[in-house]
Amino acid sequence: MASKGEKGNKTNIFKQDIPMIFKNLEVMSPQYVPDTLVARDNVITEVRNALSPILIGGYPRHLVFQGKSGTGKTVVINYVVNQLLEYLKEETTDDRKINSDILYVEINCEERNTTIRVIYDIIQKIDDTIEIPVVGMATSWYFDRLWDVINTHHVSLFIILDEIDKMDANNLLYNLSRAQNRKIDKGLFIGIVAITNNTRYLTEGRIDARVLSSLNPLSIVFSPYDADMLREILEQRAVDAFVPGVLDDLVIPLCAARGANEHGDARLSLSLLETAGHVAIQHNVKKVLEEHVKEAEKKNEVNAMIDVLKKQPFQSKLLLLCVIYQWQLREPEENYLRTGDVYEQYKLFSMELEKEVLGPTRISGLLSELDYLNVIDAPVDSSGERGRTRKIMISIPVREIIENIIVDDDLLRDIVEKVWGKTITDNPIKIPNLYYSPKKKRGKQTHIH
């Protein structure tokens, strides 16, 4: 332990030089709503017009937003509703036609993917003291509770249903759209905004004609941003987020170009810019450069892959560990592993863990999934004398996989500690950072058998 004297001599570490790159990180977060939006004037006007009937005692038009991820769907609805609520707060004239509170409820339908879960959440957001069973009641029972709570609280709602395509929304949309004037008191409204990344959602037939005619939504398509628009979005955000002068001139155009290549995705461009800032700090430099963006790009790709890997079944993770282990053991002149090497290792680890051993066909299937996820590169090699096999290479840093995937699983962690020694988690430097980067692949067509 440090004595008092020693402590007195030390300068607080925060007083020492930290590279000052960011001045406000909050504005880079995905939830942040900027004061003005770039290149979305037409959409904003359409949405405003759709909601504005409520100002004269009418009902809002229901909306469906379709567009690829990062095209501003969430930020546009947040922006317009913020403006509306702000306007209503300022507007004190006597001819106001709204006499209810307005509540803004956002639900992610991937997480809450049944009608009952969605209604349950809406009820809780109106009044979190109400006790209702999570299961065991008919859907209609939950709807009735919802109408009750809306009427007793005399509240109007904007309900944002994000990722609507992740659930069967027919029953939900039908009932919500028919509630006004029938189930809820006069003067109250429910405005629905259904959001989807699927640009064909409304034309794919997932919503019944009967539901569509009741909902009668205004469909708004969010077109991809081009590189110029993305650059403007980034420049606008950078003014608030970064210390003046720290961004090299090439940085924003590069981040914008990457987002433009990826279906005009502003989220990707913003995240790249932010990560590049953190990379510069890690390198302890005072300026964000092009090379930091490139490093950030790799980091973001690996992180995205790690998120997907975390959701894979145990057998896949175990198999991946076998690949890593064999990869480390291979002769230096070997550029790839073969299915057989990995399978033998898999049998050994499975027996060690007293786990079921899957057959070669299943294992080949799992390898093909890992290939599809770009975690490994495993094309089938049919040239060989050894029959059909795969040429297996690792495509992301081993250390990232071990630190983020393997150590989270008790069984796999046991194996790692046996194989690489006890220090694996105490001293991660000991993990070999072997990693081979094959040509980059995208899309699903490659090597699936």
What residues line the site for ligand ADP (CB under 6 A)? 30, 34, 37-40, 67, 69-75, 233, 266-267, 270
For the bound state, the minimum distance from the C-beta of residue 35 to ligand ADP, rounded and expressed in Å, comes to 10
Q: Which is nearer to ligand ADP, 70 or 191 (CB)?
A: 70
For the bound state, the minimum distance from the C-beta of residue 287 to ligand ADP, rounded and expressed in Å, comes to 24
- Token pair, residue 415, equals 């194996």
Given ligand ADP, Mg ion, none, residue 215, with its beta carbon under 5 to 8 Å by kind, binds: none
For the bound state, the minimum distance from the C-beta of residue 269 to ligand ADP, rounded and expressed in Å, comes to 8
Q: Which is nearer to Mg ion, 66 or 74 (CB)?
A: 74
Q: Which is nearer to Mg ion, 76 or 146 (CB)?
A: 76
Q: Which is nearer to ligand ADP, 236 or 315 (CB)?
A: 236
Given ligand ADP, Mg ion, none, residue 183, with its beta carbon under 5 to 8 Å by kind, binds: none
Given ligand ADP, Mg ion, none, residue 67, with its beta carbon under 5 to 8 Å by kind, binds: ligand ADP
CA distance 229 to 237: 12
Given Mg ion, ligand ADP, none, residue 328, with its beta carbon under 5 to 8 Å by kind, binds: none
CA distance 200 to 429: 48
- Residue 125 to residues 100, 118, 150, 200, 230: CA-CA distances in angstroms? 16, 11, 11, 31, 35
For the bound state, the minimum distance from the C-beta of residue 44 to ligand ADP, rounded and expressed in Å, comes to 9
Q: Which is nearer to ligand ADP, 60 or 70 (CB)?
A: 70
Given ligand ADP, Mg ion, none, residue 75, with its beta carbon under 5 to 8 Å by kind, binds: ligand ADP
For the bound state, the minimum distance from the C-beta of residue 73 to Mg ion, rounded and expressed in Å, comes to 5
Given Mg ion, ligand ADP, none, residue 421, with its beta carbon under 5 to 8 Å by kind, binds: none
Three-state SS sequence of the chain: CCCHHHHHHCCCCCCCCCCCCECCCHHHCCCCCCCCCCCCHHHHHHHHHHHHHHHHCCCCCCEEEEECCCCCHHHHHHHHHHHHHHHHHHCCCCCCCCCCEEEEEEEECCCCCCHHHHHHHHHHHHCCCCCCCCCCCCHHHHHHHHHHHHHHHCEEEEEEEECHHHCCCHHHHHHHHHHCCCCCCCCCCEEEEEEECCCCHHHCCCCCHHHHHHHCCEEEEECCCCHHHHHHHHHHHHHHHECCCCECCCHHHHHHHHHHHCCCCHHHHHHHHHHHHHHHHHCCCCCECHHHHHHHHHHHHHHHHHHHHHCCCHHHHHHHHHHHHHHHHCCCCCCCEEHHHHHHHHHHHHHHCCCCCCCHHHHHHHHHHHHHCCCEECCEECCCCCCCEEEEEECCCHHHHHHHCHHHCHHHHHHHHHHHCHHHCCCHHHCCCCCCCCCCCCCCCCCCC
For the bound state, the minimum distance from the C-beta of residue 162 to ligand ADP, rounded and expressed in Å, comes to 7
Given ligand ADP, Mg ion, none, residue 292, with its beta carbon under 5 to 8 Å by kind, binds: none
Q: Which is nearer to ligand ADP, 143 or 225 (CB)?
A: 225
**Interface residue list for Mg ion (CB under 5 A):** 74
For the bound state, the minimum distance from the C-beta of residue 38 to ligand ADP, rounded and expressed in Å, comes to 4
Q: Which is nearer to ligand ADP, 220 or 337 (CB)?
A: 220
For the bound state, the minimum distance from the C-beta of residue 70 to Mg ion, rounded and expressed in Å, comes to 8
Q: Which is nearer to Mg ion, 161 or 251 (CB)?
A: 161
Q: Which is nearer to ligand ADP, 32 or 372 (CB)?
A: 32
For the bound state, the minimum distance from the C-beta of residue 43 to ligand ADP, rounded and expressed in Å, comes to 9
Given Mg ion, ligand ADP, none, residue 39, with its beta carbon under 5 to 8 Å by kind, binds: ligand ADP
Given Mg ion, ligand ADP, none, residue 37, with its beta carbon under 5 to 8 Å by kind, binds: ligand ADP
